[in-house]
Structure 1
Amino acid sequence: MRVMVLVKATEDSERGDPPRVADMAAMGRFNDALRAAGILQAADGLKPSSFGKRVAFDGADRTVIDGPFAATSELVAGYWLWEVKDMDEAVAWAKRCPNPMPGPSEIEIRPFYDMTDFE
């Protein structure tokens, strides 16, 4: 089962505060463990939404919206792509993750569709 693991943004990540060296080292060790277990397919952090753009669709019309975007808790600050046997395994790995932010934070796990979902 492929899942996308989303690190939700916080005020710290939206300010662009750099991560602490100790936090980066802990996350590096976690990513190494994911790699060693054959779970990690991809991972990366995202710049704050002030660097981003949105394209809004309405029929044939397209509108470009410049960041930053409101509702920080609904934004994504980073992600992993994991291959796990089931959602329970994904949750178990997420619970092992060091806190990705200096303060309270959330990780969201979303499964990808696969062809069996359409049979």
Structure 2
Amino acid sequence: MKRFAFIAAAAATGAFAASAGEMVAFADIDTDADGQVTEAEFTAYKTADGEVTEAEAAEKFAKIDADYDGVVTEAELTAAVEAWKAEKADAEVDVEIDTESDSGY
């Protein structure tokens, strides 16, 4: 019986893992260059391509704002991205596929 092992990324991390895969420059989000990203700046950035709703962006912002002060610093954003990357790596699993069916097909 032939078996192949491959690595599959679990979908549990969903949109967070997807967005974590692309490290964006903090300055691209911090449009007024004050060293902080407000929820409005974050929402405008995340919804610009039409793939994320305002509600989804607000939810992501709340998860990134580690100290709950209403703004995200570059350190908070970097920490969130690193945490999402770690979650994604932890979610990877080895899966074996049986390529020969006992049913004869």
Highest CA radius of gyration, 1 or 2?
A: 2
Task: Assess same fold via TM > 0.5.
Answer: no
Q: TM-score, normalised by structure 1?
A: 0.25
Structure with higher helix content: 2
Structure with higher strand content: 1
Q: TM-score, normalised by structure 2?
A: 0.27
